[in-house]
Chain A
Amino acid sequence: MTETADRTEPAPALEAYRPPRNQWWDVWDQFKTHKGALFGLGFFVFTLLFVFVGPLIWTLDAQYIDIRARNAGPSLSHPMGTDQLGRDTMARMMAGGQTSIAVGLTAMALALILGTLVGVLAGYFRRLDGLLMRTTDLFLAMPLLPLLLVTIMLFRDPLRANFGPEGGIFVLIVFMIGVTSWMQTARVVRAEVLALKEREFVLAARSIGTPSHRMITRHLLPNVMSPIMVSATLGIANAIITESALSFLGLGFPSDFPTWGRLLFDATDWLTQNPERVIWPGMAISLTVLSVNYIGDGLRDALDPRIRGR
């Protein structure tokens, strides 16, 4: 405690010379100093533009078969080449990226909401702690892939009837990844909340009769933002990889529906003849995951007030 106090002492003196500014600018200033994070952010934005804006410019249909152009290497008409049926690899990379990234973002959001909810409740309300944390342990012990395989078999037909073949699998995969990856977030958030709960400002707030819901939203949540953000970025990477693994196993989405994992899976047979077909999706998956991890790393530093400004 004393250390922090020592360090923050000169701050008021400095601040007197500066116009008031949003604290998020400080976060950004700190974030900027992390080269890896900057590069990661740049690449992630590039990937988002490539997969979501790209199809507006590169208008070839990802599923259109042009059998005469099959197994072509990169050329002007097909910058990333074509597959064994003459489908354009670049269009498929864009369409596949949309699915993979959408799965990643949505599953992450779901995991985050669940994890934060459980973590805050367990940390704040002592009575719920035991029950919620044992549930967390239970979920931690569950292996994801076998569980996914069973649920795909059980719920494929009803979901397909309600959301269509691609939508149904999307909902299923997002839901399953979401409900099986919130546990890390919950544990980290609970630990933070437990520590925060005993701090003076929380005691002070409680002494003036702040109700629980206000305590949580006003005092606790803003202070646990940093670990939440970090687990969010890690969660995206995890979800993209899980979806790829499922497609790689030939499960999940229909076989002609491109995702990065599916493209990689289809290309493995052609490793010797057309190695670029493996390289594109492989590189996309690893670089996206890497960039998201770097963003997470940079965010953790930037959001931590003790590191910021050092």
Chain B
Amino acid sequence: MKRYSLLLGATALALVPAAAMAERGSSGHLNIIYWQAPSTLNPYLSGGTKEVESSSLILESMARFDETGMMVPWLAESIPTVDNGGVSADLTSITWTIADGVTWSDGSALTSADFVFTWTYCTHPEGGCAQAGYFDGVTSVDAVDARTVRVNFAESTPFPYTAFVGSESPVIQAAQFAECLGARAPECTDANFGPIGTGPFKVDEFRPNDVIELSANPNFRFPDRPYFATVTFKGGGDATSAARSVCETGEFDYAWNLQMDPTILAGMAAQGRCAIEVSFGTSVERIHLNQTNPDPALGDARATVEGGPHPFLTDPIVGQALSMAIDRPLLTEIGYGAGGQPTCNVLPAPALYASTANDACLVQDIPGAIALLDGAGIVDSNGDGIREYNGVPMRVLFQTSTNAVRQDAQALIKQWWEEIGVETELRNIDASVFFGGDPASPDTFQKFYADVEMYTNNFAGVDPQAYMASWLCGDMPRPQSQWQGSNTHRFCDPAYDALVAEMVRTADLNERGRLAREMNDMLVRYSIIPLIHRGGVSARAATLEGHRMSDWDSELWNIMDWRRTQ
């Protein structure tokens, strides 16, 4: 009973109205549509939001983040702090205690060995773990006893809530993944497509890049939840048809990431069948400038460090001019409406970490960009309207995922860049492929076989340490890492790596803020061009309640509390 009341407390707010009458499965069937279809259910093998969020129905971590960015104990009994002794006084270890009676959906008990295994799995030297950033600085994970896990850090770690916190570093079952370590990880299809989890739902059928059928986990630790008996998680299509299916036809109950023209969305919502939810977290739509050379003539060395640096995008002057030519408020107005704000930072929130040093970029300055390039001697020497950089004409291939808003933004940016003498070729790739992480496809955002690419990324949780560690030299996607890695634009600066290392050692919050801002400024000058701070925009059917949209974690983080209005 003690466990029950404790965990109940975590989600008490949402529960109060329904606790009296609802029981497991009483709300029937739930239809969710994500217009990017998940290609795997193992979040360690794909950095894509769609994989992380779909797997969050099944896999869970020690704690999750609610809609305010506060940590909620999930598999853990409570959040360890220095005060309650869970975090050691020298900040080098954190001890989690698994809540009593948590079992996997196959009925076996969740033990500390599973956490140790998860750490081994993700940090295996031969494997390319997409979430390795969450285990940065972790020297070992110890099983103190069956229910106690201690995470040890190399140095004092002021924000130790990285490993096993949030939807991106959940625990996986040791028994199921034992044979899947290192380079063999992608080969374990059964496990990757049907992981056994502790979450409210279990996988009945998974068709990659299509649909997931789930049913309530019979061994779930709360006897009355989830309220939905079955879930169909459909992937694919596009944002507009997803919104239509919730707001107009009512085929689906929840549609995620409605990146579409705000005029159209507002028109749909006016019909009253759905509610539009917006929450601002850390998502930033940004343009990455490839720092390596993606020339197809290089063959296998294409877009790798071995292939050499990019002929002109490594020069900060070029990046600055490209950034100055963009009218961010206009992009926001056309594509995002209330769901976005123009930004000049790749790390726009929380406020402590948001830099203000780059705010000049909010105003478009095409004459300034032209003057800047002219001043640097980057001019059009042969009169074809395209500038040459050391004899190389400045032509860029600009790729992004297929989405009407992104294509509009592409067309606008192309026009602005051509005004400053940079020829731009546009390419759009189906989102399921672009974010799919398939090492065999040439069109993934990690392979980056283009000069610039645009997409949105964010981090779950409130501490940017792991996120900022995305751009370490060692995290570049490359053939040796199965093209996994978060440093997609191959940024490499020893000074940046040193700042990351310093942040890992720094406890003082203000000092951490300064470091994060400094790192942000290094990135946005000018290998990343931030465009828009995006709120998550989702639509839920008017009959769906209990939904608390968090942009700090998976949007489906509290799906066990979702239910149908009576």
Contact = CB atoms under 8 A, between A and B. Distances in A.
A70 B426 CA distance: 21
A231 to B, nearest CB: 34
A272 B267 contact: yes
A157 interface: yes
A164 to B, nearest CB: 9
A67 B297 contact: no
A273 interface: yes
B264 A254 contact: no
B434 to A, nearest CB: 11
Given A84-B261, A266-B404, A158 B296 contact: yes
User: Could you tell me the dominant secondary structure of chain A's interface residues?
Assistant: loop
Contact of B411 (A153, A158, A250, A256): A256
A284 B408 CA distance: 24
B31 to A, nearest CB: 22
Interface in B444-495: 449
Contact of A256 (B261, B267, B297, B414): B414
A270 interface: yes
A270 B261 CA distance: 9
Contacts, number: 65
Interface string A60-89: 000111010011000000000000110100
B415 to A, nearest CB: 5
Contacts of A63: 411, 415
Interface in B335-365: none
B263 interface: yes
Given A85-B408, A85-B411, A256-B410, A153 B442 contact: yes
Contact of B412 (A67, A161, A273): A67
B412 to A, nearest CB: 6
A254 to B, nearest CB: 5
A151 interface: no
Contacts of A269: 240, 260-261, 264, 404
B407 A255 contact: yes
Contact of A255 (B263, B412, B426): B426
Contacts of A64: 415
Interface residues of B, number: 29
A165 interface: yes
A161 B264 contact: no
A268 B261 CA distance: 12
A247 to B, nearest CB: 12
Nearest to B297: A161
A11 to B, nearest CB: 62
A61 B142 CA distance: 66
Contacts of B427: 165, 254-255
A273 B404 contact: no
Contacts of A256: 407, 410-411, 414, 426
Contacts of B428: 250, 254-255
A270 B404 CA distance: 11
B261 A153 contact: no
A299 B415 CA distance: 46
B425 interface: yes
A273 B296 contact: no
Contact of B296 (A85, A161, A250, A255): A161
Nearest to B426: A254
A86 B43 CA distance: 41
A273 B407 CA distance: 19
B70 interface: no
Interface of A: 63-65, 67, 70-71, 84-85, 87, 153, 157-158, 161, 165, 250, 254-256, 266, 268-270, 272-273
Q: Nearest 4 pairs between A and B by C-beta?
A: A157-B296, A255-B407, A254-B426, A250-B402
23 contacts: A65-B411, A67-B330, A67-B334, A84-B404, A85-B334, A85-B408, A85-B411, A153-B441, A153-B442, A157-B442, A158-B296, A161-B297, A250-B428, A250-B430, A254-B426, A255-B411, A255-B426, A255-B427, A268-B240, A269-B240, A269-B264, A270-B264, A272-B267
Given A85-B408, A255-B402, 5 more contacts: A255-B427, A256-B411, A269-B260, A269-B404, A272-B267
